[in-house]
Amino acid sequence: MNILKNKKAIIGVSTAVVLIVAAVILMFGFEGADSNRIEGIEYAQLTYAPEVPRPITRDYPTKVIVKLEAIQVTGRLADGVQYNFWTFGGKVPGEFIRVREGDEVEFHLENSPFCNVPHSIDLHAVSGPGGGAVASQTVPGHSSVFTFKAEHAGLYIYHCATQPVPLHIANGMYGLIYVQPKKDLPKVDHEFYIMQSEFYTNGNYGDPGLQAFSLDKALAEDPTYVVFNGSVGALTGDNAIHAKVGQTVRLFVGNIGPNLTSSFHVIGVIFNKVYLFGGTNVTQKDVQTVNIPAGGAAVVEFKVDVPGTYTIVDHSIFRAFNKGAVGSLVVTGKPNKEIFSGKQQDNLFYGSDLDKQVQASNNQSVSDNSTVGNSIEDIVAAGKKVFSTTCFACHQPDAKGIAGVFPPLAGSDFLNANKDRAIEIVLHGKTGPVTVNGKQFNNTMPPQPLNDEQIASVLTYVYYSFGNSGKIVTKDEVAKIRAEKQVTLK
Amino acid sequence: MKLSALNITLLIIALTAGLLANSKSASKFLPKMILISGGYYLPLFKDDGETAKEFVKSFYLDSHPITNAEYLEFVKANSQWRKSKVKRIFADANYLREWKGDLELGKNVKANDPVCNVSWFAANAYSRWAGKRLPTVSEWEFAFSKNLIDKIEKLNSAKTFYEWTFDFNESNFQASSACGGAGSSANDPTNYAAFLRFSFRNSLKPNYCLEDLGFRCASGIHVNIHDKILSER
């Protein structure tokens, strides 16, 4: 019994020991797998805009070699417009670099022997002086190497940091580096690379030929061009990005400026998720427009449900309309009438009461500056003009009206009996039966979009003519009656 | 101009070399010099506590950058500066890259074009051999600001042509080179052309030999460099 008991105890104890050891091994084992030990070596995947390198699938840090060449190229800025671009990798923006959090990045900067200035790189993903600027200072025909640890996940700008830095940036030396978090963002169907930037040229927008950099415009922060991916049209037409109905899209967006903050917007799209400033947290859901500072970035995600072309803009909208900040996302697939119907009706519209009030108000504003003379002759003359453009159509040029349809103004007892009523009818119209000179009329007169001065002068004209009673109607009288029924329009 | 011990040493070496060189009558191959009358100029960077403008003493400056033909005379007289003999510590592998041989320019190199792909050490040695010295940054910038050496732009209009200066990397430029930092310490932050030159100079090491980089020589107002040293001691 005792032995048996002891046996059981021994078995129990050894089981516990085994479990503890296993747990310890497991713990250390996990820690080992998640350590910062660098394993292996590989070349970074680099892509030109709008492509983004495929997600990195390895789950350990490695040594990544990145090679960028600084090279100066004459290229297209817009149709018929050329510019001497300074680039990383021969295009603007420079190649998209994708590494993984914890990677050791060995960075090679080569400066083409055909360049005529030194170049360098400041990667905003680097913790260290100048983001690598001084370490990578490289004269033409040389190359430099430095190494950094990609400690901070997120989307970062890189740019040339050789003096004068603003010129190197303005000429095109920038791109994005994405330090993919250890646990990458959720899988999406498409990832795209969009970079906003400005160009300052001596000529105006669209002026043909090779355009030189304008320091004056750059200092005034008044760009000639604001573009996505380096030139006007680099993200439209054949260069548009594509997705299918029901797919998810992630945009890695950078804005290098060099001066402007972007109001990044995709027309007809609501960003389901925004990683503001290119950080790793979803900072906001359901967003229309994202601010991206110069030298900053953002990651936005959305699902496309309805086919069509979605226009990508800087919603500081003159930049889109007049300076080139336009791109296109083309979505193909079946329409979804429940989410978006398309046009359902097309009807005629003659204007509402609001329209009439707005018109009257507009005319009122105009009249504040008008200068009709003060003499009765001037007022009558002005009134005649109004009559012959407005009233005569119904009441007829001789003011005798049309029997049974439009009542006469000439020798009208109805008119002469009550001046205020006349003013009110011109202001607000009149519908229904009236008796004029013993005859019944039943019609509608719409409110007249005239200002106080015009109503005063036209009524004075009518009272002074056509055998009427010769009353004078003043602006103030009209204003008083208008005020009684005024609708304030904001 | 304050002279450090190093500079005095260099000038003494220059003096010796100059005297030796004179005996070989280098002067008949040398470019004409123009007198740059001294005056104030606005350096790109101001030093703390000093007024913005800097006084530059009168000096002589070669009227044009040293040409291939002129440099050929130097390597003929100084075999250690020939393409095949030069030590890498003094000139990198691009030294006289376009020359066909030690004493042969080849058909692609024009005799009257400015010599390029020469290191600071080489430019300095040439200057000493010629009984002259390299201009200081201040002297070069002063002369340039007076439009006295605008020729350099025209000599090679397709690309900017730079010239070695004696103290090419001594400014505080590098320290303030991060991003916008340099602008705040500059006297005229809109002088982008000057920034380009300073940034070029500060990216150099003295053994670099570059396609767009040559030099010209200067000398003090006292033509005899020996007198100059005595007067400044």
Tens digits of residue pLDDT in A24-57: 555 554 444 556 789 999 999 899 999 999 999 9
Partner B contacted by A188 (CB < 8 A)? no
Q: Centre a 10 Å sphere on the Cβ of residue A35 and count the other Cβ atoms it contains.
A: 12
Q: Which domains does chain A have, with CATH numbers?
A: 41-180 (2.60.40.420), 201-332 (2.60.40.420), 353-484 (1.10.760.10)
Partner B contacted by A126 (CB < 8 A)? no
Distance from CA of B231 to the nearest CA of A (A): 38
Query: Using alpha carbons only, how large is chain A's radius of gyration in Å?
Result: 38
* pLDDT band for position A190 (cuts 50, 70, 90): very high
Please say whether the beta carbons of B213 and B207 come within 8 A. Answer: no
Cα B149 to Cα A192, B58, B111, distances in angstroms = 50, 15, 20
The answer to which of A6-15, A284-293, B40-49 has the lowest mean pLDDT is A6-15
Partner B contacted by A164 (CB < 8 A)? yes
Q: Which residues of B touch A163 (CB under 8 A)?
A: 173, 177, 182, 195-196, 198-199
Supply the mean pLDDT for chain B.
76
Interface test with chain B among A163, A168, A210, by most B beta carbons within 10 Å = A163
The Cα–Cα gap between A406 and A408 comes to 7
The answer to which of A177-181, A282-286, B185-189 has the lowest mean pLDDT is B185-189
Percent of chain B, pLDDT > 70? Answer: 67
Question: For the segment A361-389, what is each residue's pLDDT rounded down to a tens digit?
Answer: 777 665 555 556 778 888 899 999 989 88
B5-232 under CATH 1.10.1060, yes or no: no
Interface test with chain A among B173, B179, B185, by most A beta carbons within 10 Å = B179
pLDDT at position B50: 59
Asked if pLDDT for residue A136 goes beyond 70, the answer is yes
Mean pLDDT over A139-150 rounds to: 96
pLDDT at position B29: 57
Asked if pLDDT for residue A473 goes beyond 90, the answer is yes
Strand pairing category for A262-266 and A271-275: unpaired
Asked if pLDDT for residue B176 goes beyond 50, the answer is no
pLDDT at position B6: 40
Interface test with chain A among B171, B196, B202, B208, by most A beta carbons within 10 Å = B196
Asked if pLDDT for residue B155 goes beyond 50, the answer is no
The Cα–Cα gap between A290 and B42 comes to 44
User: CA quadruple B216, B219, B225, B228: dihedral positive or negative?
Assistant: negative
pLDDT at position A403: 86
Task: Determine the 3-state secondary structure of B177 from DSSP.
Answer: coil
pLDDT at position A457: 93
Question: For the segment A73-123, what is each residue's pLDDT rounded down to a tens digit?
Answer: 999 999 999 999 999 999 999 999 999 999 999 999 999 998 889 999 999
Contact B178 A122 (CB under 8 A): yes
The Cα–Cα gap between A409 and A425 comes to 13
- Residue B201 region, left (φ>0) first, then alpha (ψ -120 to 50), else beta? alpha
Closest CA to A107 of A67, A159, A48: A67
Partner B contacted by A161 (CB < 8 A)? yes
Question: For the segment B23-78, what is each residue's pLDDT rounded down to a tens digit?
Answer: 344 555 567 888 898 998 888 876 655 567 888 999 999 988 999 999 999 999 99
Asked if pLDDT for residue A342 goes beyond 90, the answer is no
A139: nearest CB among B173, B178, B208: B208
Q: Which residues of A touch B198 (CB under 8 A)?
A: 163
SS3 letters across A396-458: CCCCCCECCCECCCCCCHHHHHCHHHHHHHHHHCEEEEEEECCEEEEEEECCCCCCHHHHHHH
Who has greater pLDDT, B174 or A218?
Answer: A218
Question: For the segment A193-213, what is each residue's pLDDT rounded down to a tens digit?
Answer: 999 999 999 999 999 999 999
In DSSP terms, B163 is beta-bridged to B214
User: CA quadruple A244, A249, A254, A260: dihedral positive or negative?
Assistant: positive
Packing angle, helices B137-145 and B192-202, rounded to 10: 160
The Cα–Cα gap between B117 and B108 comes to 14
Percent of chain A, pLDDT > 90? Answer: 70
Who has greater pLDDT, B221 or A211?
Answer: A211
Q: What angle do CA A234, A236, A237 make, to 5 degrees?
A: 115
Asked if pLDDT for residue B1 goes beyond 80, the answer is no
Asked if pLDDT for residue B18 goes beyond 50, the answer is no
User: In chain B, what are the domain boundaries?
Assistant: 5-232
The Cα–Cα gap between A56 and A59 comes to 8
Q: With residue A393 as reference, give the H or E element that holds it.
A: helix A392-395
Who has greater pLDDT, B30 or B20?
Answer: B30
Query: How many residues does the structure list for chain A?
Result: 490
Mean pLDDT over A391-418 rounds to: 91
Residue A74: DSSP 8-state: E
Q: Which residues of A touch B207 (CB under 8 A)?
A: none
Asked if pLDDT for residue B195 goes beyond 80, the answer is yes
Contact A163 B174 (CB under 8 A): no
Partner B contacted by A117 (CB < 8 A)? yes
pLDDT at position B197: 85
Supply the mean pLDDT for chain A.
90
Q: Which residues of A touch B190 (CB under 8 A)?
A: 215, 219
Query: Using alpha carbons only, how large is chain B's radius of gyration in Å?
Result: 18
Who has greater pLDDT, A484 or B219?
Answer: B219
A219: nearest CB among B173, B190, B204: B190
